Amino acid sequence: MISVQNVSKAFGPKRLFEDVNVAFSPGRRYGLTGPNGAGKTTFMKILAGEDEPDVGTVLRPKRLGTLSQDQFRYEDDRVIDVVLMGNGVLWGAMQEKDRLLAKREISEEDGHRLGELEGIIAEEEGYTAEATAAELLDGLGIAQEAHEQPMRALAGGYKLRVLLAQALFGNPQALLLDEPTNHLDIDSIRWLERFLHEYDGVLITISHDRHFLNSICTHIADIDYESIITYPGAYDDMVRQKGQVRSRVESENAEKRKKVAQLQDFVARFHAGTRASQVQSRIRAMEKLKLEDLKRSNIAAPFIKFEVAKPSGKQTLTVEDIAKNYGRREIIRPFSALVTRGEKVAIIGKNGVGKSTLVKMLVGELAPDQGGVKWGHQASPGYLPQDQAGLIRPGTTAFGWLRELEDKLSNEEISGLLGRMLFSGEERMKPTATLSGGETVRLLLSNLMRTKDNVLVLDEPTNHLDLQAIASLSEGLGRYEGTAFIVTHDQQLIGEVATRIWALREEEPILDFNGDFDEFVEKHPDLAAHHR
């Protein structure tokens, strides 16, 4: 069990949570939710002992598995060894054993110690440890030939997979996983879901993947009203229950405000009269209400609405036999397709299989080695790339950047666009150089709402967005009257939006399926285990 007792934390004047008391029980899998900036990662660090609360204590089990975000910490270590380090007791015993055996002469004391170490290694299942670590790496998509290589040989996304395997290794009594599905493709996410379903310790995870939370969570611990409110069930269950809790809390707050107003009115009317004792009584009652402090919900969801200035022609896009190679590697095998107005195409597949390459060819950022891409009459594509570096000019503000791009809209209209994406008040004047990842995506989406294109090409648009923003994006794409191409691993978004699937597979042609995601899985059971 992990027990949180009277924990409070603030950064400067901003209180994240106050006097939190919550217990996380074995056998339960908790999703830790809340909007960006609510304090999820801070709370997770407090649970792990990496950060200290301002007040309060945390009781945690001895063996704790945490997902490290420092992907460059182990550059010279073997991949398999990095996983084994997840069990500190075992790794320490193995290292000490190697040091003793490397001695030219082993003393009697060394011999006794080696016997003790053999006992520790056996108790920690050390003689099957490498096989267990290899299974974890295989499940997370790390090829066998990479297990013996140093970490520096892996790309950044695969280093994070190794760190996830490290957290899972060694039968920890509790698992703390901050965004474990980042850089995982659908295959690996499904493997992780199966692994966590069999895990019998305490799991607490932060994730912006609604399908993942709905699949694994038995409870949701939601940060709101400067506290942690625990709901039974998965993420969608929490959303339904939270509406009821929010109504109750807001009703209680309204009653408190009404009571304060009545007390203030009484004090103002009689403070100089003969009812001094009653006035003092009202003042004390007001002070008590003020000390309780009316806490406000931090929930905030953007409103995403993509409009179309002019519709495209019926035949929106024609792809004619396009192909792309990188050296001897065939990334995109010859592919042809006709996409008509209003279709929503989800582009899915493992990491590195060519999804971004394909959309770059669609928007003209990359030339195919053969074939061509032809947009239809009046087609106007709006593009959100996965790599957003340099898209927003530094040295200005969120408002100023949109103002530079659009001289026909009034200041009020630009402020309205930004307000819908949660840039309200002073947030509109935030320097572009200081924007977080989520703020960058929201500002780029604001611009796509401004341009009113009749085609949207979105490469991993949910990266950096919180759950409320992803739900709003899904609703906006569902209402969108134009044509959309969406690269994503978010299975819930695919299920809610897609009318057509382009499935990219290694060393095979693109599978072009006309139908939604449920139909795709039903008609292609061979792919169901990989994409559902």
Cβ(139)–Cβ(195) under 8 Å?
yes
Query: What are the DSSP E strand ranges found in 34-131?
Result: 55-59, 64-66
pTM for this entry: 0.74
List the one residue out of 356, 440, 332 whose CA is nearest residue 394.
440
**Mean pLDDT in runs of 10 for the chain (532 residues)?**
93 85 95 86 92 93 87 90 93 93 90 94 93 93 92 86 92 92 83 92 92 94 88 90 72 77 78 70 70 58 93 96 91 96 94 92 96 96 91 92 88 92 88 88 95 96 88 94 95 93 91 93 64 44
Helix %, strand %, coil % of the chain (to 5): 45, 20, 35
User: Phi then psi for 170, rounded to 5 degrees?
Assistant: 90, 20
Q: Please give the C-alpha separations between residue 378 and each of 309, 317, 390, 409, 483, in angstroms, as whole numbers.
A: 11, 11, 28, 22, 12
**Residue appearing with tokens 């709370």:** 43
Q: Give the pLDDT of residue 259.
A: 80
Beta bridge partner(s), residue 204: 30, 176
Sheet holding 344-348, edge to edge: 381-384, 455-459, 483-487, 344-348, 500-503, 511-514
Show the tokens assigned to 412: 């009020």
Per-residue pLDDT, 297: 67
How far, in Å, CA of 443 to CA of 302, rounded? 11
For residue 289, the model assigns a pLDDT of 62
Distances (CA, A) of 478 to 13, 239, 272, 474, 486: 39, 20, 63, 6, 12
Distance in angstroms (rounded) separating the CA atoms of residues 394 and 379: 30
- Residues in the chain, total: 532
Query: What is residue 528's predicted lDDT score, i.e. its pLDDT?
Result: 44
Exposure b/e, 155-166, CB count within 10 A at least 16 = b? eeebbbbbbbbb
DSSP string, 307-361: --SSPPPSEEEEEEEEEEEETTEEEEEEEEEEEETT-EEEEE--TTSSHHHHHHH
* 3-state secondary structure (DSSP) of residue 397: strand
219-224 and 227-232 beta bridge pairing? antiparallel
CA torsion angle 435 441 446 449 (round to 10): 170
Structure tokens at 334: 């010859």
Structure tokens at 514: 């006309």
DSSP symbol at 431:
B
Q: What are phi and psi of 316, to 5 degrees?
A: -80, -40
Cα 78 to chain centroid, rounded: 28
d(CA 234, CA 212): 10
**What is 315-531's CATH number, 3.40.50.2300, 3.40.50.300, 3.40.50.40, 3.30.1490.20?**
3.40.50.300
Instruction: Give DSSP secondary structure letters for 368-382.
Output: -SEEEEEE-TT--EE
H/E stretch holding 138: helix 129-139
The span from the CA of 164 to the CA of 166, in Å, is: 5
Strands 174-178 and 64-66: parallel
Alpha-helical (H) ranges within 421-466 are 437-451
The greatest distance separating any two alpha carbons of the chain, rounded to the nearest whole angstrom, comes to: 97
Class of domain 2-237: alpha beta
Question: What is residue 531's predicted lDDT score, i.e. its pLDDT?
Answer: 46
pLDDT at 272: 66
**Which segments within 460-510 are labelled E, that is strand?**
483-487, 500-503
Q: What is the predicted pLDDT for the residue at 270?
A: 74
The answer to whether 436 and 452 are in contact (CB under 8 A) is no
Write down the domain spans for the chain: 2-237, 247-292, 315-531
Residues 6+ apart with CB under 8 A from 423: 398, 399, 430, 439, 442, 443, 446
DSSP state of 90: H
Quote the pLDDT of residue 28: 95
